[in-house]
Amino acid sequence: MGAKGEMMAQRFEAKVQQATAVFERLSEADWPNTPMDALNAKHAQEHAHCTKAETIALHKETAAAASALVRGLADDQLDRSGTVLAGAPAMSAGQVAGGLLCSHIDEHLGSIRATVGG
């Protein structure tokens, strides 16, 4: 484990806790009315039977797994670059772990807050 991985994992965990708090405050009426892009909407439709509690539990479980993975990366591993998205510049593992994971949460929180407040 490297210092960068630990720092990135802590940052990600803080974002996860922030998101979890927002999710838990949503009323049952607000829960199905959050905006989603097409991919998320398809995923939501496929899993429409899942309850809010099940979704939050899965969120916590997968976030813990992602955090453990990031925390376990050595600094030299985080510095490695490669193609993440076709047509986009190469990104380092650190950019993915430190940026994309956290900004993805921020995007979802922003759309939720714009819809239901908070």
pLDDT average, residue stretch 2-18: 90
Helix intervals (H) in the chain: 3-25, 38-46, 52-71, 75-78, 93-95, 101-116
- pLDDT at site 68: 93
Instruction: Report the pLDDT value the prediction gives residue 42, as an integer from 0 to 100.
Output: 78
pLDDT at residue 79, as a whole number: 92
H or E element, residue 51 = none
Domain positions in the chain are: 3-116
Sorted by sequence, the CB contacts under 8 Å of residue 11 that are 6+ apart come out as 98, 102
Q: What is the pLDDT of residues 29-77, one digit of tens each?
A: 777 766 556 666 777 778 778 888 988 998 899 999 999 999 999 999 9
